[in-house]
Amino acid sequence: MKDYDTTVAFLGQWGRFQLIFFFLLCSTIVPNGLGAFTLIFLTDVPSHQCLVSDTNITEDWRKSIIPVEVKLSSCSRYRLDVVRNLSALGYIPGRDVNLTDLEQEGCVDGWSYSKDIYQSTIVSEFDLVCTDQWKRPFTTLVFFLGVLFGSVFSGQLSDRYGRKPVLFATMAVQTVFVFVQAFATSWVVFIVLLFFNGLAQINYLSALVLGAEVLTGNERVLFSSLGSCLSFAIGYMTLPLFAYFLRDWKSLLYALSVPSVVFIPESPRWLISQGRVEEAEAILRKAAKWNKVQVPKTIFEDCNVTKTRTHSKEQYTVLDLLRLRSVRATTLIVCLFSLCVGYFGLSFNAAQLHGDPYISCFLAAVVEIPAYISSWVALRYFPRRLSLVGCFLLGAMPLFFIQLVPEDLPNLSLTLELVGKYAFTTGISLIFAYVAELYPTVLRNTATGICMAVSRMGSCISPFVLNLRVYFTFLPYIILGALAVLSAFATLFLSESFKQPLPETIQQEVTSLFYKIEQS
């Protein structure tokens, strides 16, 4: 019996259907690059100090009311009632009064924020500073928790109801909630809306699986590596451009809520797995008409459809990833290397690479272009397993060496960190393509959803890992590097999928597993 790729080979390579499908599917991913790291700008902290609204003090006292530590204090001022009395008596600060002897108080009247970089952020809007500064990393956590939950449930929904409905539903939810966020009147309302926005960010997952199932051969490899990833990078690189010209948080959200509406067919592979062979054939006949090629009278006559129909009514859930012996070990290893703390840690830390946050974000985005090209070359010509191991080790080494760099060589530290970001970006591009090839069709979207969910756990904890630098400057780098080395070791135990057909059923996966055991 012929596998799916062989059966649909009559369509040819890169016909009109494949080209249009490729670019339309890529267009649905661009907004994800815009939205994934928007919080870099939305939660950035402008320079700020206590607001002094009292006009009954002299200009000298107004300039001196903020204590000078290393720089002007952001969270305290000298007691306003004391300063008001001293000003009324005509005392000059620093000459008649020793400022260090004055009692201090918090910013009871609020804060004044610099507008040199931003007109406003959610930090200045909701005063997420000083005693409320914990709300900033918590905001990022809420967003990625939304992505995490969305990844888990969208995979199961997509495997049950189809790739296309879930893709369009999540795109619609994403558009609506990004727009509504701009009308949030409090931080609590904002993070509730942000959570639902995160739930919808996983349209990337449905698009990735849909592309992996509709496209075949080199088309699939190109989409899984360059197509999807470069689309994400284009959005990522555009983000600092939007943020530079739209320097208040509401305008930025309005711009990011512009919807992307396209028409994309359902996955014929998924339709076959559900026993809906006629619908799958109709899609392929239309594709053949677009490509101007002749269609066999019965497309799936020799394809393994009977076995698929037998199991089409059997529904699989995320629990089957651990319950089924043939995929349990794979799932545990996938969950380990999918954590991707290194990628997200270096992505969020990139905001500190340069004094200008717009340049910082752009540098972090630009380095992803050669990374995605490298992943495409690796997927095209090299075994998946060894390529991924190489990415993990290449990402870990600069993080271990960065602590040895002298302080007077900041550019070398910058280079090492960007090399790490390059390696982890290449790796994360390989991961999702690799995972899609490891699982059968009936579990592929669920497995990829779990992979993305676990990767979002990495994004959730990465801001807190970065905060460990208060205990030891290089501790975050050591942790990120150690996790990468552990992931590289675990990856060695996975099956190789290079140049292997995608498994369609659980039975094919079990047969493949026993064959590999016998071969070893």
What pLDDT, in 10s, does the model give residues 401-452?
Answer: 988 888 778 778 888 888 999 999 998 888 877 887 888 877 777 777 777 7
pLDDT tens for 24-78 read 888 888 888 887 788 888 888 788 888 887 667 878 777 887 787 656 778 888 8
Mark 125-140 as b/e (b = at least 16 C-beta within 10 Å): bbbbbeeeeebbbbbb
pLDDT at 194: 93
SS3 109: coil
Q: What number of other Cβ atoms are within 10 A of residue 293's Cβ?
A: 13
Could you give all domains of the chain from N- to C-terminal order, each with its CATH number? 1-25+130-310 (1.20.1250.20), 48-113 (no CATH), 316-519 (1.20.1250.20)
Q: Report the C-alpha gap between 267 and 274 in whole angstroms.
A: 11
Q: Would strands 104-105 and 111-113 be described as parallel, antiparallel, or unpaired? A: unpaired
| Residues of the chain below pLDDT 50 | 1, 304-313, 510-511, 513-520
Closest CA to 209 of 238, 240, 169, 167: 167
pLDDT at 518: 43
- What pTM was computed for the model? 0.75
Closest CA to 474 of 410, 401, 416, 415: 401
pLDDT at 308: 43
Q: Report the C-alpha gap between 91 and 97 in whole angstroms.
A: 7
Q: Are 25 and 210 in contact (CB under 8 A)?
A: yes
Secondary structure letter of residue 505 according to DSSP: S
Dihedral (Cα; 314, 320, 326, 330), 10-degree rounding: 140
